[in-house]
Amino acid sequence: MRLIIQRVTKAKVTSDGAVTGQINRGFLVLIGIGPNDTKQTADLLSKKLCNLRIFEDENEKMNLSIKDINGKLLIVSQFTLYADCKKGNRPSFANAASPDIAEELYEYFMEKCKQEGVHVEKRKIRCSYGSRITKRWTSYYFARTINICY
């Protein structure tokens, strides 16, 4: 399971010009699910996400979780997080879970976040910011010492 977590003051998702989900302060989370992911994986990451302390307290220290600030989650299914570009220039998505497995774990992950006490907006979209492709590159793919994140 791969998560891209963006701390936001506002986020919204549109589809065909209509707003299908929006939050104020919280996390915009892109979630990709792999074929070996399980409910145990979702349990671990949902708990970690809901308790991640990256919101500032009164002393401007990142000490508060999304629960502490009554924030919300906008969770977007994003199979392209499993794109593999090691060979050639066209990404392969063979490392992503099949749609039926991914759907089940996506729903389970959101339910676990709700059980942690966090309001969740779910959206199955391709993307609202111009493209449906999100690629996470790390240096070990290219034998370099830098991280590149898109």
The answer to whether the beta carbons of residues 13 and 128 sit under 8 Å apart is yes
Q: 4: helix, coil or strand?
A: strand
User: Which of 20, 41, 55, 80 is labelled catalytic?
Assistant: 80
Q: Which of 78, 115, 134, 145 is catalytic?
A: 78
22 is catalytic: no
Q: What are phi and psi of 98, to 5 degrees?
A: -65, 155
Q: Which of 9, 41, 55, 79 is catalytic?
A: 79
Residue 79 annotated to the active site: yes
Strand-pair partners of 137: 148
Residue 86 zone, left/alpha/beta (φ > 0; ψ -120 to 50; rest): alpha
Please list the active-site residues: 78-80
